[in-house]
Structure 1
Amino acid sequence: MARVALVTGGSRGIGAAVSVALKEAGHQVAANYAGNDQAAKEFSDRTGIPVFKWSVSDFEACQAGVAKVEAELGPVDILVNNAGITRDTSFSKMTIEQWREVMATNLDSLFYMSKCVFDGMKKRSFGRIITIGSINGQKGQFGQTNYAAAKAGASGFTKALALEGARSNITVNVVAPGYIATDMVKAVPQEVLNTKVLPLIPVGRLGEPEEVARAVVFLAGEDAGFVTGSTLSVNGGQYMI
């Protein structure tokens, strides 16, 4: 069944792959973005997916943004919380601003965005809330106390909200990628990838954004109604729990 899906950070990287995959699955998709107008326009022109600009770290902006999406496309039944940032540095050097920026975008946004759609999902007795987590929220990572804490917090948020949504046919899950071949990862020197990253991944390669997207499409579908409060790891066997 075709539904309206909203993907935050949905015009680049993993988010773009998720937006396209959901569209190909038959859904109407809205892609949120925060700042890169040119990239968003190019994505929309290429895919035909409408883009909507607002900061997910601002609750009032989220309310206004979701209202605009629903006015143009209809009620949001699928929410993919993909937007995220990094401000990596060792804990000793990390500033309060670096901590707060990451928490606002990567964790506070889950509350803000879910708050905007949850009651509507309850009234319609259907909802899918999927958050893109991270392997580093599961195992930790040097220089990422802020990022790892936010991604780990996403897991607790997901489990608690899953309990509240279950009776209303709202599932809430996490997809936790490992090293994925996004522009950011591909910018790492090949020698570093070959000697420091790939040896850690049992399947011996980076993941593709489309592989993460396929996991999201499954969790967003009708057939995943018995999967909730779960974390689906897409990391090539690098970390198993």
Structure 2
Amino acid sequence: MGKLDSRIAIVTGAGQGIGAGIATKLAAEGATVVVADINEETAQATAAALGDGSIGVRADVTDRPSVDALVEQVVSTLGRVDVLVNNAGWDKAEPFVDSEPATWDRIIQINLYGAFNTCHKVLPLMAEQGYGRVVNIGSDSGRVGSSGEAVYSAAKGGIIAFTKTLAREMARAGITVNCVSPGPTDTALFASIGGEKLRAALTKAIPLKRLGQPEDLANAVAFLASDEAAFITGQTVSVSGGLTMS
């Protein structure tokens, strides 16, 4: 028996990286996973690898009609939404004074508005069924800051605050809302930003002496999405190997 048997879960940005790790873990725990990604090819490839009725769907979290279409497709084919994981994210590392408003807009649209769009569509459905689990993917940059990631940090700080307020507003409806904040995680995105020098420096700085792996994040998400975490809401859990501690 998995802890998510018969649950229907949507994971955004799940075509690769941390999102694919989360989708894989939720499926292993018995959930039927809707792998949503702006890249339809990776979404479908990830879903095909999961099996068990999981589906890959192209969705752009910054576009409300695209989000609406995704959720409506899920409800019409699978009947409901039990778990929503807001994982889709994007960043461009650069000093704030060198950044451009067009980049700010894209970062805020994907990282913050993306969660607004999905939650605004999904929460009423969860409230109607009297059950729901929302897990937002934050970032430790939103708790302690991160050089070169000013706007991203602002967006993720917003996600953390948004999580707390939704948790208060939705508790009576039987919905929990929590946040998982990755520290440095070994993904293609990390490799494209950092390279070996940053990897070595971070490995030295992290008390557990390694970067996070997508499955490290996925294990925390699966717990918060399950009934084992039924009395946990409004919390932010850092999965950072001890790099940050609250």
**TM-score, normalization: structure 2?**
0.93
What is the alpha-carbon root mean square deviation over aligned residues? 1.3
Task: Give the drift of 1:47.
Answer: 2.3
Task: Give the drift of 1:22.
Answer: 0.6
Q: Which residue of 1 aligns with 2:38?
A: 34
Task: Give the drift of 1:108.
Answer: 0.7
Pairing 1:218–2:230 present: no
Please give the alpha-carbon distance, in whole angstroms, between the structure 1 residues aligned to 2:47 and 2:159.
28
Please give the alpha-carbon distance, in whole angstroms, between the structure 1 residues aligned to 2:71 and 2:187.
27
Gaps of 5+ in 2: none
- Structure 1's consecutive aligned runs of 4 or more residues displaced over 6 angstroms after TM superposition are none
Figure out how many residues of one structure are paired with residues of the other and give that number.
239
Pairing 1:130–2:140 present: no
Gaps of 5+ in 1: none
Task: Give the drift of 1:87.
Answer: 2.2
Pairing 1:164–2:169 present: yes
Task: Give the drift of 1:186.
Answer: 4.0
Corresponding residue to 1:189 among 195, 201, 212: 195
Q: Which residue of 2 aligns with 1:88?
A: 93
Identity across aligned pairs (percent)?
Answer: 37
Task: Describe the shift of the 1:91–1:16 C-alpha distance in structure 2 as closer, same or farther (beyond 3 A).
Answer: same
**TM-score, normalization: structure 1?**
0.95
Q: Which residue of 2 aligns with 1:5?
A: 9
Q: Could you say what secondary structure the match of 1:76 adopts?
A: coil
Higher deviation after alignment, 210-219 or 67-76: 67-76
Check the 8 A contact 2:47/2:55 in 1, yes or no: yes
Opposite residue 195 of structure 2, the aligned amino acid is: P
Opposite residue 19 of structure 2, the aligned amino acid is: G
Q: Could you say what secondary structure the match of 1:75 adopts?
A: coil
Check the 8 A contact 1:52/1:65 in 2, yes or no: yes
Opposite residue 20 of structure 2, the aligned amino acid is: A
Corresponding residue to 2:20 among 16, 19, 24: 16
Opposite residue 43 of structure 1, the aligned amino acid is: T
Check the 8 A contact 1:169/1:225 in 2, yes or no: no
Q: Which residue of 2 aligns with 1:50?
A: 55
Please give the alpha-carbon distance, in whole angstroms, between the structure 2 residues aligned to 1:15 and 1:3.
18
